[in-house]
């Protein structure tokens, strides 16, 4: 499965205001993103659809 580049993840955190980003953060973010993707896919398939939507993502996260 594809992973987000470590430099990109660190840049996102720095752009969000982090002064420093630990070396373990990119691996953790990639694990979390994969878990969210799997949950969204299950939601999509449960509705009989093939296309994952933003609503599927919202169902497996706390972002509104």
User: Residue ranges of the domains in the chain?
Assistant: 6-15+22-59
> Is a pLDDT exceeding 80 seen at residue 48?
yes
> Is a pLDDT exceeding 70 seen at residue 63?
no
What would the pLDDT profile of 28-40 be if each residue is shown by its tens digit?
999 999 999 999 9
Distance CA 21, CA 17 (A): 10
Nearest of 19, 25, 22 to residue 5 by alpha carbon: 25
| Predicted pLDDT of residue 1 | 73
Distance CA 13, CA 24 (A): 13
Per-residue pLDDT band for 17 (boundaries 50, 70, 90) equals very high
- Mean per-residue pLDDT for 33-58? 96
Q: Which residues contact 22 (CB under 8 A, 6 or more apart)?
A: none
> Is a pLDDT exceeding 80 seen at residue 55?
yes
């Amino acid at each position: 499965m594809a992973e987000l580049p470590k430099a990109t993840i660190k840049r996102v955190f720095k752009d969000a205001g982090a002064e420093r980003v630990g070396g373990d953060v990119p691996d953790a973010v990639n694990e979390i993103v994969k878990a969210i993707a799997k949950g969204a896919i299950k939601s999509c398939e449960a509705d009989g659809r093939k296309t994952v939507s933003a609503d599927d993502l919202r169902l497996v996260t706390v972002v509104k």
